[in-house]
A and B are shown apart, each in its own frame.
Chain A
Amino acid sequence: MPILQIKGLTHFFGGLRAVFDFNLDLELGELIGIIGPNGAGKTTIFNLITGVYRPTKGNIIFDGVNLVGKESNWIIAHGVVRTFQNIRLFKELSVLDNVRTACYSQIKCSVVDALLHSARFHQEEERILNEAMELLSLFNLERLADEKSKNLPYGLQRRLEIVRALANHPKLLLLDEPAAGMNPSEISGLMELIQWVKEKFNLTIILIEHQMRLVMGICQRIKVLDFGETIAEGSPIEIQQNPRVIEAYLGEEEHGD
């Protein structure tokens, strides 16, 4: 049984059609890519899955639960996490606090505990601290723990965003153009990183990307969107040969990149 099932997902902004009849069956441990020209509705799909928008029509079944109408934080806490197209770290917070903040749902202690500094509070905080530090050290960020995240170099910020996402013990990871603004060498690094993360935390990943090299390199399956509609689906090779895709997308991509 698939971990994520999206049926007939449709969303309108007023009159504008952002996503139309989007379907997806995602098996556990899959890594699938969604590509398509700007404004094709890729990010909108992520926003619909994570509850930022309420879809006009359709269902999103994750682990047997329908996510439609759920609060974003509930969805995140239940294992669907995402990164952002344009980095959205908490700039003024330290690297460590960025991760600890993401542990919000992990901490099992009430306000009263917090205000009275009960034993429970201390043990929870201690736990979260260690967890966060371990996570950071997996990504070699532990020595920067006390740095303000805005002072990190771009590549590390991207990495930190992934760490922050992982803090919620996710099952499904949504990566929104992780390679945006990276140079070729960084991209190859990223490819390895994604693969490694996938294995390490046995994740299922949906990847939105413009960088054909990345998508073709690591995705097992690719869906192509254009004006909110799915125009093609299949393995990287199939996609590369699909005439509609070439005309709708790859054509521009050649001089685009």
Chain B
Amino acid sequence: MTTKGITQLSGLRDKFKKRQWALALALVFLFALTFLIPRYGLLNEYVQLIIIYIGINIIMAVSLNMVNGYMGDFSLGHAGFMLIGAYVSSILTVWVFPRNWNPILTSAILFPIAVTAGGLAAALASLIVAFPSFKTRGDYLALVTLAFNMICVSVVQNIEAIGAGRGFMGMKKLTTMPWVFIWALIAIWVIRSFVYSNFGRGTVSIREDETAAELVGVNTRHVKVLTFVISSFFAGIGGALFAHILQFITPNTFQLQKNVDFLVMVYLGGMGSIGGSILGAVTYTVILELLREALTILGTFPIFASIPSLEVWRWVLAPLLLILLMIYRNQGIMGLREFGFLVPFRDRFGARFWLKRRELTNANSSN
């Protein structure tokens, strides 16, 4: 019985360890791909561009999910943080940093600094939203975030120095597949660590019942600030990467429409699930692109050629998808479930493990 128990115990651990190793290897392999692909042009540049977009969208969706999914608040300001990240990082790379460094150093040292700065700026700005969130919740907070987004946009529109509404450019194409991969990985890692810590549990308890959370000793204010700051930090990162792939940003790019895209990703994938957000981001981006293709092909047929703006039908999809989701499956693909490999050992097997161990010790003491 005892030995059996021990083997079971160690078995549990080993199985988990093995999985983690497999995951690590998979990541290394993927990472190798991310710079083999551009190096040897295994995929054409447009597909590469889409992959990079997907990476950025993953960062945005996962970080938005922290607020909308885990904390159960409704943020409509994520694009605002993205904008801040985009502009701050771009200003750094274009004006502040030396422009004629050798490209390797620029990409290896200056770019990450710029991106991080963008993230930090966004994180700082998020306090404007975090503090109101102490008092207001639900629809009203949604409005606060939205107002924040709109204000970000119109502020940029009024700063002549950075091109106002006409946009800002001159960034080098520094966002590369490996960088996006790394940042996405960092985002997922950090957010996962946060969610599966006592702060994360605090966040979720706010979603479940804020008053009760406060009344079992969770410092909801602290948790809220942390959640908003981390979430918008990665939104800023996403923005920075976005700016350095497009090499051109305008405030209007970061309007409500962009928020809606991220919302679709989050709710399509499923709230309160990192895996869900990743899934959502990938699915949504791919669907839209496939549709672009499909419509272009359709357009070649005489029947459809007559339709003035076939392209537009693509934009009908996103909202329609959301509505149907909300009505028929507002849990999204994953619901509140999570991919096993994203859940730390303690949170996945902790209880079972504890029980087994007690069993064993009892057994020992009995003989």
The interface stretch among B5-13, B189-197, B302-310, B322-330 is: B189-197
- Binary interface profile of B, 183-215, with partner A (CB < 8 Å = 1, else 0)? 000000010011001111110110111011111
Q: Is the CB of A93 within 8 A of B204?
A: yes
Q: Say what secondary structure dominates the interface of chain A.
A: helix
Q: Select which of B199, B200, B216, B352 is within 8 A of A167 by beta carbon.
A: B216
> B253-291 CB contact bits vs A (8 Å, 1 = yes)?
000000000000000000010000000000000000000
Interface size on B, residues (CB 8 A): 35
Residue A104 at the chain B interface, CB threshold 8 Å: yes
A125 near B204 with CB under 8 A, answer no
B341 close to chain A: CB less than 8 A: no
The complex places the Cα of A15 from the Cα of B202 at a distance, in Å, of 36
Shortest CB–CB separation between residue A130 and chain B, in angstroms? 7
Q: Verify B351–A165 contact, CB threshold 8 A.
A: no
Residue B41, interface by CB 8 Å: no
Tell me the bound Cα distance from A123 to B205 in angstroms: 23
CB of A113 to closest CB in B, whole Å: 8
Q: Is B333 an interface residue (CB 8 A)?
A: no
CB distance from A118 to the nearest CB of B (A): 10
Give a binary string over B306-337; 1 marks a CB under 8 Å from any A CB, 0 the rest. 00000000000000000000000000000010
Q: Report if B159 contacts A (CB, 8 A).
A: no
With a cutoff of 8 Å between Cβ atoms, the chain A residues found around residue B202 in the complex are 101, 104
- The total of Cβ contacts below 8 Å across the A-B interface reads 120
Kindly state the separation between the CA atoms of A133 and B355 in the bound complex, as whole angstroms. Answer: 9
Contact of B205 (CB < 8 Å), options: A72, A93, A105: A93
Assembly CA distance A146 to B349 (angstroms)? 9
Q: How far is the CB of B92 from chain A (nearest CB, A)?
A: 24
Partner of B218, one of A92, A101, A130: A101
Whether A164 sits at the interface, judged by CB under 8 Å, is yes
Nearest-Cβ distance from residue A96 to partner chain B, whole angstroms: 5
Is B2 positioned at the interface, with any CB of A under 8 Å from its CB? no
Interface size on A (CB < 8 Å)? Answer: 48
From the candidates B201, B350, B352, name the one contacting A104 in the complex (CB within 8 A): B201
Partner of B355, one of A88, A109, A142: A142
Q: Which residue of A lies closest to B209 (CB)?
A: A88
* Given known contacts A100-B201, A111-B226, A114-B193, A50 and B215 CB-to-CB distance under 8 angstroms: yes
Residues of A within 8 A of B272 (CB): 92
Closest 7 CB pairs of A and B: A114-B197, A145-B351, A90-B208, A76-B217, A88-B212, A102-B216, A105-B217
Binding site for A on B (CB under 8 A): 190, 193-194, 197-202, 204-205, 207-209, 211-221, 226, 272, 336, 346, 350-352, 354-355, 358
